[in-house]
Chain A
Amino acid sequence: MRSDIDAVAGFFEDLPVLIYVLSGTLVLASSATWAAQFVSESRDTRSLGHLAESLADKALAEIRNGQPDWHLPTVRSLEGLNLSHLGDDLQGRKFAISITMRHPTEDFVFSAGMGDLNDTISTGFCSRFLNALTDDGLVAILELRVIVWHTR
């Protein structure tokens, strides 16, 4: 009977120790889980960013069509571009490409895309600038924007 009392008293004496150890372990485990999830999401976003960059480079290569850098495309030729096939290598991810004129006037030139934005998990974005000739013979500044995302 004496030893039973000792055991019960010992348990209650050790309870604060147990609480400290358990809460310490819980804090460590939860922060490690959060950090792992955050790093994984960041990696995912970064990889989408790289994907957007490679898509933008492919689109630029398509626009330049093997011509040297000093050979400028016309704005009119960009309006009729077909870049939908660039999404073939995206392994189920969705994308949108748009080209807007930033100078000498603000104007929309072209857009292509695949997929809707419902249930988007993460996105990658990339922007590139290029020159093109307007109908007036001026050299315009255009911005090519690529957004890549994947859904649930």
Chain B
Amino acid sequence: MSGTLGKNTFGQLALMDAMIFFAFAAIASSVLIQSASAPHSPSGETYGEVDLKGILESFLQASVGREIVLSIDQETSIPADAQMAEVLALVVSSEAQGWPNQSASFIEDVLARTLKSLEPPSSDLFLMIYSMDLGNLELSIPRAMPSASNQFAASAIIPGSDEEALLVSMILQPAFLPEILDVRVGDLDLRPCVAFSLREGDQRNDDQ
């Protein structure tokens, strides 16, 4: 098994080495590009620039904004300056108080519209209210539940109408993946503008 390596064999070995070097260089550069351009995953109570806890606190503290007249057994009204937190507690206890479904869903619609007005561009906001004692989901606004993936949440505890504390969770679900919104023209980051125009487009589509 002895022999000599000819000049041609050396040449082939050198070419193979060069090809292996090129393959490694290509792999290394693709890994480099991929890791550099990977989007930063937002976490906790902020999604990108959105302060979800701030939205929740402002929402709970705000007035309902309009007088809501309910026809239950006698005419009852919720004043315009009632706090959102109080109204939420009232809706949660509506079943126990024997309210007709229509009245509760009317208030839920008002709350859902308010929530809609606070939505960050290209995102959906959901409000889930849980009973602290039983851990049950008492109410979700809007009724459609958020999907399980890509969620960011903030929560607060509010007093219920019958001495029972309620846990209010605000869930933000991006309607578009962050990497799609990472739009640049040259060096200029246009995410806020694009997100805004996408939202405007959505609204126009809804109107049609």
Contact A139 B83 (CB under 8 A): yes
Q: Does B180 contact A (CB under 8 A)?
A: no
Contact B118 A17 (CB under 8 A): no
Given contacts A38-B37, A104-B63, A137-B81, contact A17 B192 (CB under 8 A): no
A131–B120 Cα distance when bound, in Å, is: 17
Contact B51 A127 (CB under 8 A): yes
Interface size class of A (residues with CB under 8 A): 35 or more
CB-CB < 8 A to B37: which residues of A?
Answer: 38
Contact B58 A141 (CB under 8 A): yes
Q: Does A112 contact B (CB under 8 A)?
A: no
CB-CB < 8 A to A141: which residues of B?
Answer: 58-59, 62, 118
Contact B66 A125 (CB under 8 A): no
CB-CB < 8 A to A34: which residues of B?
Answer: 33, 36
In the complex, chain A residues 15-41 whose Cβ is within 8 Å of any chain B Cβ: 16-18, 20-21, 23-25, 27-28, 30-32, 34-35, 38-39, 41
In the complex, chain B residues 41-80 whose Cβ is within 8 Å of any chain A Cβ: 49-51, 54-55, 57-59, 61-63, 65-66, 80
CB-CB < 8 A to B15: which residues of A?
Answer: 16-17, 20
CB-CB < 8 A to B25: which residues of A?
Answer: 23-25, 27-28
Contact A14 B65 (CB under 8 A): no
A-binding segment of B16-24, B94-102, B132-140: B16-24
Given contacts A24-B22, A27-B25, contact A103 B118 (CB under 8 A): yes
A136–B15 Cα distance when bound, in Å, is: 83
- Interchain pairs with CB closer than 8 A, number: 119
Interface size class of B (residues with CB under 8 A): 35 or more
B122 to chain A, nearest CB (A): 14
A45–B48 Cα distance when bound, in Å, is: 12
CB-CB < 8 A to A16: which residues of B?
Answer: 15, 18
CB-CB < 8 A to B32: which residues of A?
Answer: 31-32, 35
- Per-position contact with A for B1-25: 1 when CB-CB < 8 Å, else 0? 0000000000100110111011011
Q: Which of B51, B117, B191 contacts A103 (CB 8 A)?
A: B117
> Taking beta carbons and an 8 Å cutoff, which residues of B are in contact with A?
11, 14-15, 17-19, 21-22, 24-26, 28-30, 32-33, 35-37, 49-51, 54-55, 57-59, 61-63, 65-66, 80-81, 83, 114, 117-118, 120, 187-189, 191-192
| 20 A-B contacts (beta carbon < 8 Å) | A21-B18, A24-B22, A27-B26, A31-B33, A32-B32, A35-B35, A38-B36, A38-B37, A39-B36, A102-B118, A103-B118, A104-B62, A125-B191, A127-B120, A129-B51, A129-B58, A130-B54, A137-B81, A138-B80, A141-B59
Known: A21-B21, A32-B29, A131-B62. 5 other contacts (CB 8 A): A17-B17, A31-B29, A129-B55, A138-B80, A140-B62
